[in-house]
């Protein structure tokens, strides 16, 4: 069975979290597609959201993780792409619900607004939770 590829990207405000998440994803058995940024130098977050959208559209990854300082800007940028359902989460409940009810394909976290332990727990829940379908699929169809 092929290993699932998880794309990951951040701006400078999320770089430290991205690097920690890469190690966690590898430890969980995923292949990691690092879309940048590659250090703490100031960059423009929309470029990395666009990289994520392109990677998912091209089939290079099925799901992804984005991190910027607050998570807000990068999630807005990602959600401009029709095939992306990026969910900014703040705890494990929202990480669970974004998968179960919204079939989110991109987890978004704020590197400056979320405790790292909480963020790591959110990542694990996002990866482990499936989509419920049913009435929720009808809503996803309306969004799409």
Residues labelled as active-site residues: 68, 101
CA-based torsion, 39, 44, 47, 51: positive or negative? positive
CA count, 13 A, side-chain hemisphere, 12: 5
Cβ burial of 15 (10 Å; 0-12, 13-18, 19+) is buried
Cβ burial of 34 (10 Å; 0-12, 13-18, 19+) is middle
Quote the tokens at residue 37: 């940024």
Angle between helix 92-100 and 116-128 (nearest 10): 20
């Amino acid at each position: 069975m092929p290993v699932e590829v998880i794309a990951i990207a951040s701006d400078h405000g999320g770089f430290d979290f991205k690097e920690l998440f890469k190690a966690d994803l590898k430890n969980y058995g995923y292949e990691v597609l690092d879309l940048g940024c590659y250090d703490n130098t100031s960059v423009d977050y929309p470029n990395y959201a666009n990289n994520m959208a392109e990677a998912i559209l091209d089939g290079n990854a099925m799901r992804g993780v984005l991190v910027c300082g607050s998570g807000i800007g990068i999630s807005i940028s990602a959600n401009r792409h029709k095939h992306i359902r990026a969910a900014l989460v703040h705890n494990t409940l929202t990480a669970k619900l974004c998968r179960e009810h919204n079939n989110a394909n991109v987890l978004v976290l704020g590197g400056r607004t979320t405790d790292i332990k909480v963020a790591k727990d959110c990542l694990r829940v996002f990866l482990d939770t499936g989509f419920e379908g049913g009435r929720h699929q009808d809503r996803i169809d309306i969004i799409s």
